[in-house]
Copies of this chain bind each other. A is one copy, B any other.
Amino acid sequence: MRAITGLHEECGVFGIVGGPQTKAARATYYGLYALQHRGQESAGIAVSTGGDILHHKAMGLVSEVFDDKRLAALPGTMACGHVRYSTSGRSLVVNAQPLVVRYRGGSLALAHNGNLVNAPSLRATLEQEGVIFQTSIDSELIANLVARADTADIVEAVRSAMRIVRGAYALVIMTPDQIIGVRDPDGIRPLSIGRGENTWMLASESCAFDAVGGTLVRDVEPGEIVTLDRGGVRSYPPGLARSERLCIFEFIYFGRPDSIMGADTMYAVRKRSGGLLAGEAPAQADIVVPVPDSGISAAVGYAEVSGIPFAEGFVKNRYVGRTFIQPEQSLRATGVDLKLSVLTDVVRGKRIVLVDDSIVRGTTILRLIRKLRAAGAAEIHLRVASPPVRYPCHFGIDTPSRGELIANSLAPAAICSRVNADSLAYLSIEGLRTAVGGKGSCDACFNGDYPMEVPDEGDKMGLEAKETDYAAS
């Protein structure tokens, strides 16, 4: 329940084309299910069936939005789907995707992950030409551009739209005949091609292919357009492509550990980053404790390289449901946290290397350190498996404003003192790049080196989402 304004979030997209036996909506359900970590706010599936596009979308998890009856009402062998990130207060079913529209060329379903940096000006321009907008999602903007392109060829129309928009986008577009995949010229958001028995697929991450018994074929290239139909995959030369700048936070935090981007799983990259961190920033300590769950992979790497034993210092309560009632302030002030407990006898009297994948606002880590101290930890050496986050993201990640980024205003020493650690070290950007391997990446959040001109701040958003994971919701 909100006004329509320009908000953009991290999301997951999926598309599939199969043979006569393929239950495309069901496969999309499983694919989206595997991508659920990319968005829990809303879910949607559209199917193409006999020239028509049917769809259903609603607020909630994939497993809440769809049941057998809903899937049975979405017949057909071609489908696409979308999951959207949940951030409080911005929830509107009208913003759920895929967006399904009719235009002169017929029907289209669009699912988008990313953020267009020139959306406000494009929107203003189109409004001046009499266009109305019913949502605040970029997909609507793209659909309008496709519909207004001066061509009957849908690939041409998509290319025409690509010439106008600027920003990050991984798009899955479904016509009654085919699925089209598009990745922005910088390749900021991920999109991969997979194949199963008699099926071709697109997905934000390869784990979605595994979920339907398929395998990763390759990534869509920056600026590339691909079309999928029963005949297979066709590629259209990425005329607009630049060198790849895949969002580095996919490796650090977003991607599911078993997803492969480039050559490795996210888990391997993260563990490696932890190992490199141990080399760059050793510590005299008794145990390596991860921040659950985000720091586990890096902590395993740190422990292995440093030889300091890995130990769980915290326990998460996995049953925290969405209707959970928070403790009163009085209780919370005393450190009671129903979602996360310290293992007192593990940490008491110990010198601890506390490992997390990144620090954004610094509020969560402060709370964890407070808990460790209360439980009797002797020393706490905070190690972060990525550089300080100092610049907001403009390409689909919901980061806080620059002012809220703790590393924007404070140097590491000051942060160390603020979060009450005994020492603090970040992984260097070089170290992180080594961990990531050869894949070119956008690491502007660390150094401000954006792949393109970005708007002044104002409408920024927040990586911090993950930090609020343990917080009152």
Assess the A132–B101 pair: CB atoms within 8 A. Answer: yes
A144 shortest CB reach to chain B, Å: 6
In the complex, A415 has a CB within 8 A of chain B: no
A203 shortest CB reach to chain B, Å: 14
Assess the A325–B67 pair: CB atoms within 8 A. Answer: yes
Which chain B residue shows the least CB distance to A150? B130
Q: What B residues does A323 contact at CB under 8 A? A: 63-64, 67
Assess the B344–A265 pair: CB atoms within 8 A. Answer: yes
Number of copies: 4
Which chain B residue shows the least CB distance to A333? B213
Assess the B258–A344 pair: CB atoms within 8 A. Answer: yes
In the complex, A427 has a CB within 8 A of chain B: no
In the complex, A413 has a CB within 8 A of chain B: no
Q: How many angstroms from the CA of A131 to the CA of B127 in the assembled complex?
A: 12
A167 shortest CB reach to chain B, Å: 20
Assess the B319–A300 pair: CB atoms within 8 A. Answer: no
Q: How many angstroms from the CA of A318 to the CA of B63 in the assembled complex?
A: 12
In the complex, A436 has a CB within 8 A of chain B: no
Q: How many angstroms from the CA of A52 to the CA of B271 in the assembled complex?
A: 48
In the complex, A212 has a CB within 8 A of chain B: yes
Q: How many angstroms from the CA of A317 to the CA of B256 in the assembled complex?
A: 9
Interface residues of A in 283-341 (CB under 8 A from B): 296-297, 300, 303-304, 309-312, 315, 317-325, 327-328, 331, 334-336, 338, 341
A25 shortest CB reach to chain B, Å: 10
Assess the A73–B1 pair: CB atoms within 8 A. Answer: yes
Given A103-B131, A257-B343: A74 in contact with B1 (beta carbons within 8 A): yes
Name the residue among A67, A148, A320, A323 with the largest chain B CB count within 10 angstroms.
A323
Please choose the segment from A30-38, A241-249, A381-389, A416-424 that sits at the chain B interface, where 4 or more of its residues have CB less than 8 A away. A30-38
Assess the A66–B325 pair: CB atoms within 8 A. Answer: yes
Assess the A271–B130 pair: CB atoms within 8 A. Answer: no
- 20 A-B contacts, Cβ less than 8 Å apart? A3-B52, A30-B331, A34-B317, A37-B318, A63-B322, A71-B325, A99-B134, A102-B133, A103-B133, A104-B130, A127-B147, A130-B148, A134-B140, A207-B341, A211-B336, A258-B342, A271-B311, A296-B312, A304-B310, A318-B318
Given A63-B321, A132-B140, 7 other A-B residues pairs in contact with their CB atoms under 8 A: A1-B74, A61-B319, A64-B321, A103-B130, A268-B343, A296-B312, A304-B310
The residues of A with any CB-CB pair to B shorter than 8 Å are 1-4, 26, 29-30, 33-34, 36-37, 40, 52-56, 58, 61-64, 66-68, 70-71, 73-74, 93-94, 99-104, 107, 127-128, 130-134, 140, 143-144, 147-148, 207, 210-213, 256-258, 260, 264-265, 267-268, 271, 296-297, 300, 303-304, 309-312, 315, 317-325, 327-328, 331, 334-336, 338, 341-346
